[in-house]
Structure 1
Amino acid sequence: MSTPSEPGLDRRIWALAWPLLLSNITAPLLGLVDTAVVGHLDSPVYLAAVALGANFFMFLYFSFNFLRMGTTGFTSQARGAGEATLVVLLRALLLSTVLGGLLIALQPVLRELGLWLLGGSAEVQDLARDYIGIRILGAPAALGNFALIGFAIGLHRTSVPLKMTVVMHSSNALLDFLLVQVWHFDVRGVATASALSEYLGLAGGLFWLRREIFGDAWRTLPAGALRRLAPMLRLLAVNRDIFLRSLALLSVFFFFTAQGARLGDTILAANAVLITFLLLLSNTLDGFANAAEALVGDATGRGDRRALDAAVKATGRWTVLVAGLALAVFALGGAPLIHLLTDLPAVRETATTYLPWMLLLPVTASAGFWLDGVFVGATRARAMRNTMMVATALFFPVWWLTTGWGNHGLWLAMNAWMASRGVLMALVWRRRDRG
């Protein structure tokens, strides 16, 4: 297969990226709907309980994002090589079902550990226990959605994740209203709505991918494909490495939040506002990272070095352009965004003081987001794990050496961590090119 021309490749990148950009931008709506619904109940403890429960699941489910990444890499490579892609999905769905069942079985232990780490009053924690106990029942579907989304991206069907997101958000909003406002199930209603919306999203994904799953692909599935041990072990190895990489990433963000809390409530609140800048940047760049996953995996599966190099360069170029745009937006709109996110004078003033560190984020963080996509497409999970571990090991000495700078030192360490991750991944990829 010939390498596409640069204009044609750019069109392919945007065709892959724009549905994922919309999906990423609308992702926070799930939390906003939950907050809006319980925020109108007669006590703030309901809102606090949902906030604790939502944070618990954010960390829990993010830890299993390897199901999405690993499935994308293997699917795109199989597509490029002209091999069966359905078996990749079936292995991922089998793994997600087993892991989802384990999460339900281990829920009491995970719940108490999470609530111990998150804190909160006794009344809030009791309500949060109800929330977690119900929402965890959606774990098999939530993990299955990771597998389906990864499969769809690997097949270059990026409109499917967008449709799944719309189904989950709209059904969650409707169920939230019915269960909380009409039938008065408080936090239990919010948890039930979230769990059911995961299953509806899974059903939608299976429907929109029905031809790739239930059509000729199913009838031509190689005999005994799921019983072959070597491919499953490779999937587990890649997922293990991405899981460890995700744990290292989460440890930095958890430590960052904890250290901000030690500097005072105002600093903690200001940092929470400023993290929004990083979330906006990552959600935007993830669209191009996902495009890199699909294109790099496809070229790797075909063994087409020219297409691989072209995909890496083109997605890198778009990443630089979007990072430059983000820098301009942060510089011009940073202060208005802070004022939009909070009306507390002390928090506004404190966040504005540390705003210059946000202007560095497009420079320090963008390469890491882009190269994540490149490495996932090439299934270089071990290299992703190792570079993240080294960058994380560098984060803590930088923070320790700058503790006298207070929150400035904390943000310096965050930017240094982001930059070192990108630099290390670039060096690994360059060495691979020379090899």
Structure 2
Amino acid sequence: MAEITHARVFRIAAPIVISNATVPILGAVDTGVVGQLGAAAPIGAVGIGAVILASLYWIFGFLRMGTTGLVAQAHGQGDAGEVSAGLMRALIVAGLAGLGLIVLQGPLVWTAFQLASASVEVEALARDYLSIRIWGAPATISLYALTGWLIAQERTRAVLVVQLWMNGLNVALDLWFVLGLGWGVPGVAVATLISEVSGAALALWLARGAFAGGLWRARAIWERSRLAEMARVNTDIMIRSVLLQASFTAFLFLGAGQGDVTLAANQVLLQFLNITAYALDGFAFAAETLVGQAVGARSAPRLRRAARVATDWGVGGAALLGAVFWMAGPAIIDLMTTAPEVRDTARAFLPWMIVAPLIGIASWMLDGIFIGATLTREMRNAMLVSVAVYVGALVVLIPAFGNHGLWAALMVLNGVRGLTMARLYPRAEAKAGG
């Protein structure tokens, strides 16, 4: 197998970083296009509709991570048949999940609007938007599986190609359907639907090798031990992800209790965390791929090398981001809001953003290492411990320090995640035969 070098890690990570950078652009274009209609309701409808679908699709995000870990290990073993069968299993789950969302769209949308109240006009437009976009559910969820499969084999350039195609087509169709044809909110939905379906089709074409050459047989897909392993891995990841999402939701709700200005400032600062996640994801993905291959090859030295080299890049990126936030943070805040009181409040809490990448990098990189090694039970248990400590920190720190206490508790969550997983790291090397 090829040597694990800094150049190899960068080749895996760079396309993911670029791909992630295009994601916020699409949301801005969607908002900007409907904003040209001259009314507030279309903007709100597209926003709330996109959030509802993103929340539903997010439930199935485990397919991306689980597929990467399992397929990377099969790739490391040189088992081409299992590499293909792993994709087939993930696509079957994705297809069934997508069809389930289509069938259940009525009660799901009703429940969503019970939780997120909106005006009659916004709700009506959002329902139109959702009734169109929901038909792309099988394609969108399948993209999680296809992306994970491509990453497992270090084909991150293919992931970038799919992302650029989808986003570029979506922008072009947005402009044509909304501004050119005057379709309004349904035009945005149709543009996104077409881009998602075509993106899944492109990803399937890029993964066509999995369907050719007799590498797999139907009975391999339904092999009981493989199905059990897939179910275990994906269930653990889903529980871990639900706990993490609940922690951030609690942060948002508790921030709302600090007043409107503080809530707005926290929203601005959370964009710094989003930037951090987008920028550092590539190095965590590199760890997933290379660690998974090392486990498959039963080589603890390769796993150790993969973890170290990918983490070196992650730590370097975290330090760079911290420096950028320190020097350019006030200017970034000013770009995000024009309200003087929000600007001043955000600046008061900016130091937390400067240290956040360095505090969080251990947990992000160990997530990648554990996903590659499919130590998902350990990830789940570490998250359970971390959330318990986080709840305790919220109870103690918010009454004493207000919003500073809220941010400190979030840092505690990420810090404890890193510490608990670092303590369990030797299990990764043991799984690779070390």
TM class, shorter-chain normalised?
over 0.9
Please tell me the residue identity of whatever aligns with 2:279: T
Kindly state the Cα deviation for residue 336 of structure 1 after the two structures are TM-superposed: 0.6
Alignment size in residue pairs: 428
**Is the contact between residue 67 and residue 239 of structure 1 (CA under 8 Å) also seen in structure 2?**
yes
**Is the contact between residue 62 and residue 246 of structure 1 (CA under 8 Å) also seen in structure 2?**
no
1:128 paired residue among 126, 129, 143 = 126
**SS of 1:184 mapped into structure 2:** coil
Kindly state the Cα deviation for residue 126 of structure 1 after the two structures are TM-superposed: 2.2
**Is the contact between residue 287 and residue 307 of structure 2 (CA under 8 Å) also seen in structure 1?**
yes
Report the counterpart of residue 305 of structure 1 in structure 2.
300
Give me the whole-angstrom Cα distance separating, in 1, the residues matched to 2:109 and 2:131: 8
Report the counterpart of residue 75 of structure 1 in structure 2.
71
Report the counterpart of residue 52 of structure 1 in structure 2.
48
Kindly state the Cα deviation for residue 60 of structure 1 after the two structures are TM-superposed: 2.1
Please tell me the residue identity of whatever aligns with 1:250: Q
Give me the whole-angstrom Cα distance separating, in 1, the residues matched to 2:383 and 2:128: 35
Report the counterpart of residue 191 of structure 1 in structure 2.
189
Give me the whole-angstrom Cα distance separating, in 2, the residues matched to 1:119 and 1:191: 21
Report the counterpart of residue 348 of structure 1 in structure 2.
343
Residue by residue, what CA displacement relative to the aligned partner does 1:170-216 show, whole Å, maximum 9, x if unpaired? 11112212221122222222122112211111111122222x22432
1:176 pairs with 2:174: yes
Please tell me the residue identity of whatever aligns with 1:323: A
**SS of 1:185 mapped into structure 2:** coil
Residues 21/275 of structure 1: CA separation in 2 closer, same or farther (3 Å cut): same
Please tell me the residue identity of whatever aligns with 1:109: P
Give me the whole-angstrom Cα distance separating, in 1, the residues matched to 2:416 and 2:191: 40
Give me the whole-angstrom Cα distance separating, in 2, the residues matched to 1:185 and 1:107: 23
Residue by residue, what CA displacement relative to the aligned partner does 1:52-101 show, whole Å, maximum 9, x if unpaired? 11222222222211100011111110111011211100000000000111
**Is the contact between residue 296 and residue 308 of structure 1 (CA under 8 Å) also seen in structure 2?**
yes
Kindly state the Cα deviation for residue 242 of structure 1 after the two structures are TM-superposed: 0.8
2:366 paired residue among 366, 371, 380 = 371
**Is the contact between residue 84 and residue 215 of structure 2 (CA under 8 Å) also seen in structure 1?**
no
Give me the whole-angstrom Cα distance separating, in 1, the residues matched to 2:126 and 2:258: 27
**Is the contact between residue 366 and residue 422 of structure 2 (CA under 8 Å) also seen in structure 1?**
yes
Residues 10-409 of structure 1: matches in 2 within 5 Å? Answer: 10-83=6-79, 84=81, 85-210=83-208, 212-216=209-213, 219-222=214-217, 224-404=219-399, 405-409=401-405
Please tell me the residue identity of whatever aligns with 2:278: N
Please tell me the residue identity of whatever aligns with 1:19: P
**Is the contact between residue 138 and residue 198 of structure 1 (CA under 8 Å) also seen in structure 2?**
yes
TM-score by length of 1: 0.95
Please tell me the residue identity of whatever aligns with 1:95: V
Give me the whole-angstrom Cα distance separating, in 2, the residues matched to 1:389 and 1:195: 37
**Is the contact between residue 34 and residue 43 of structure 2 (CA under 8 Å) also seen in structure 1?**
yes
User: Where does the alignment leave 5 or more consecutive residues of structure 2 unmatched?
Assistant: none
Moved more, 226-235 or 137-146: 226-235
Give me the whole-angstrom Cα distance separating, in 2, the residues matched to 1:191 and 1:379: 37
Instruction: Give aligned-pair identity as a percent.
Output: 40
Residues 433/75 of structure 1: CA separation in 2 closer, same or farther (3 Å cut): closer
Kindly state the Cα deviation for residue 27 of structure 1 after the two structures are TM-superposed: 1.6
RMSD of aligned C-alpha atoms?
1.6
Give me the whole-angstrom Cα distance separating, in 1, the residues matched to 2:105 and 2:387: 29
Moved more, 240-249 or 57-66: 57-66
Please tell me the residue identity of whatever aligns with 1:358: M
Residues 259/122 of structure 1: CA separation in 2 closer, same or farther (3 Å cut): farther
Report the counterpart of residue 410 of structure 1 in structure 2.
406
Please tell me the residue identity of whatever aligns with 1:15: R
Kindly state the Cα deviation for residue 413 of structure 1 after the two structures are TM-superposed: 1.1
Kindly state the Cα deviation for residue 222 of structure 1 after the two structures are TM-superposed: 3.6
**SS of 1:65 mapped into structure 2:** helix
Moved more, 332-341 or 186-195: 186-195
Kindly state the Cα deviation for residue 406 of structure 1 after the two structures are TM-superposed: 2.0
Residue by residue, what CA displacement relative to the aligned partner does 1:317-366 show, whole Å, maximum 9, x if unpaired? 11111111111111101111001111111111111111111112012111
**Is the contact between residue 59 and residue 250 of structure 1 (CA under 8 Å) also seen in structure 2?**
no
**Is the contact between residue 68 and residue 148 of structure 1 (CA under 8 Å) also seen in structure 2?**
yes
Kindly state the Cα deviation for residue 249 of structure 1 after the two structures are TM-superposed: 1.1
Report the counterpart of residue 429 of structure 1 in structure 2.
425
Kindly state the Cα deviation for residue 165 of structure 1 after the two structures are TM-superposed: 0.3
**Is the contact between residue 256 and residue 410 of structure 1 (CA under 8 Å) also seen in structure 2?**
yes
Give me the whole-angstrom Cα distance separating, in 2, the residues matched to 1:432 and 1:230: 21
Moved more, 118-127 or 90-99: 118-127
Residues 410/98 of structure 1: CA separation in 2 closer, same or farther (3 Å cut): same
Give me the whole-angstrom Cα distance separating, in 2, the residues matched to 1:406 and 1:116: 30
Give me the whole-angstrom Cα distance separating, in 1, the residues matched to 2:429 and 2:68: 22
**SS of 1:402 mapped into structure 2:** helix
**SS of 2:37 mapped into structure 1:** coil
Residue by residue, what CA displacement relative to the aligned partner does 1:19-73 show, whole Å, maximum 9, x if unpaired? 1110111122221111111111121011011111122222222221110001111
TM-score by length of 2: 0.95
**Is the contact between residue 84 and residue 211 of structure 2 (CA under 8 Å) also seen in structure 1?**
no
Give me the whole-angstrom Cα distance separating, in 1, the residues matched to 2:355 and 2:326: 10
Moved more, 114-123 or 91-100: 114-123
**Is the contact between residue 21 and residue 287 of structure 1 (CA under 8 Å) also seen in structure 2?**
yes
User: Where does the alignment leave 5 or more consecutive residues of structure 1 unmatched?
Assistant: none
